[in-house]
Structure 1
Amino acid sequence: MSEQKRAPETGGDASENGANKGINEATAEAEALATADQEIAGDLAGERQRLEAEVASMKDKFLRAFAEAENIRRRAEKEVADARTYGIASFARDVLNVADDLARALGSLDETAKAAADGPFKSLIEGLELTERGLVKALEKHGIRKIEPKGEKFDPNLHQAMFEVPDPSVPTGTVVQVVQAGFVIGERVLRPAMVGVARGGPKAEAAPGADKEAGAA
């Protein structure tokens, strides 16, 4: 019996090769896409970090600029307030000369002479006293206060000692005489009070809060 020849199975091999080729191409394409995705993800992550750093830098610059603007605003407000309060200091010092003249005019008259005054002379004295009180009120209206420290403890921030008075009946350092009244404007001394200070008595005790008030003045 003669053997029959088999035909070569070329069709199956070709299909299998084509399938393998397609799989390889798909795998390569998938790997290429994955690589591209990783590169894109890396680029996006880097860009995100860059943008976040830029935002942080801009935020810091904004906060610094805002703080500086706030400081400038506060300084401007303080300068305006100081100008409003202390801008009349020079004028006020000139007005104090008028107050001193009135005080000297009234001080030249003792209480006996005032009590004995009559007619036009009495009216003149009353007019001077009224003018002095009105002047003091006008100064107070503009933040200028009179210092009359007689009986108080000497304060070098507010008073200027002109002489010492031996007086053992009062504590040493007590103001016993006011030669010229002082004035303050706001928290500043416009003119210290010129005073006579006692010595020879017991040591004066500092009043509670006196140091704090002196520092503020």
Structure 2
Amino acid sequence: MSETAKNTPDDLHDVNAEQAAAEDIAAEANAAEHEDVVIEDPITALEAEVAELKDRLLRQAAEVENTRRRAKKDVEDAGNYAITKFARELLDVGDNLRRALDAAGDTSNADPAMKTLFEGVEMTEQTLLKALEKNGVEKLEPLGEKLDPNKHQAVFEMPNPDYPDGHVAQVMQAGYMLKGRLLRPAMVGVTKNPPAEQAPKDDTPGGNVDTSA
């Protein structure tokens, strides 16, 4: 009879029991190991979650602050520059008053009615300028200043020995700023002097030696 045939049902039952016991021991070990991991993981996970929530909170707080600042600036800009269109229209009125005064020229010898008219137009211009200034509109009179493309619009170039090149030699139309923002650039003529005459001969010994030979 073979060895296999000698195994009785009782022997097979014992083998199965041993296998089952070994499996239970392995399962208990795995459960214990898993239990240790479970005990450690929640702490790490909570710490990571707290750090993530803290980062989110800081980001959202910064975003809320930026939004608040932008909204505040928008409100301030709306208040400061709400009169932009109206102010530009008033500038045309001021320009016409100035043209009338310039066209009148010297009125010292004019008749009293003409002088009165001239003085009235002049007072009207001054009142308008004061009203504009009171509302944050500043007049630009850049004569003699270096050309600033952010404030001046160069219309032509002209020689003028009184000013260096690139400086405003003539103001065709005044410019204006509204609370630090350009309302209208000044239209100007810019100095461009001709090249200097040929340098005088050098009288020092050895100066201006002809080396063409």
- Asked if TM exceeds 0.5, the reply is yes
Alpha-carbon shift at residue 192 of structure 1 (Å): 1.0
Alpha-carbon shift at residue 42 of structure 1 (Å): 6.1
The residue number in structure 1 matching 2:56 is 61
Q: AA paired with 2:49?
A: E
- TM (normalized to structure 1)? 0.67
**Distance in 2 separating the partners of 1:166 and 1:178:** 14
**Distance in 2 separating the partners of 1:88 and 1:65:** 36
Q: The residue matched to 1:195 in structure 2 has which SS?
A: strand
Q: Percent identity?
A: 52
User: Are residue 139 (structure 1) and residue 132 (structure 2) matched?
Assistant: yes
Map 1:116-155 to 2 at 5 A: 116-155=109-148
**Distance in 1 separating the partners of 2:125 and 2:195:** 37
- TM (normalized to structure 2)? 0.68
The 3 A distance-change label for structure 1 pair 56 and 82 is same
Alpha-carbon shift at residue 177 of structure 1 (Å): 1.4
> CA deviation digits over 1:31-85, x for unaligned, max 9?
xxxxx9x998865543333222222221111111111111111111121222222
User: Are residue 183 (structure 1) and residue 176 (structure 2) matched?
Assistant: yes
**Distance in 2 separating the partners of 1:66 and 1:141:** 39
User: Are residue 50 (structure 1) and residue 45 (structure 2) matched?
Assistant: yes
1:93 to 70, 88, 97: 88
Task: Extract unaligned runs of 5+ from structure 1.
Answer: 1-35, 204-217
Q: The residue matched to 1:154 in structure 2 has which SS?
A: coil
**Distance in 2 separating the partners of 1:145 and 1:77:** 24
**Contact 1:167–1:201 (8 Å) recurs in 2:** no
1:70 to 58, 65, 71: 65
**Contact 1:171–1:202 (8 Å) recurs in 2:** no
Output the aligned Cα RMSD.
2.6
Alpha-carbon shift at residue 202 of structure 1 (Å): 8.1
**Distance in 2 separating the partners of 1:169 and 1:97:** 31
Q: The residue matched to 2:172 in structure 1 has which SS?
A: strand
The 3 A distance-change label for structure 1 pair 183 and 43 is same
**Distance in 2 separating the partners of 1:133 and 1:93:** 17
Q: The residue matched to 2:169 in structure 1 has which SS?
A: strand
Between Structure 1 and Structure 2, the one with more helix by share is 1
**Distance in 1 separating the partners of 2:165 and 2:179:** 29
> CA deviation digits over 1:133-192, x for unaligned, max 9?
111111112221111111222222211122222223431222221111111122322111
Task: Extract unaligned runs of 5+ from structure 2.
Answer: 1-31, 197-213
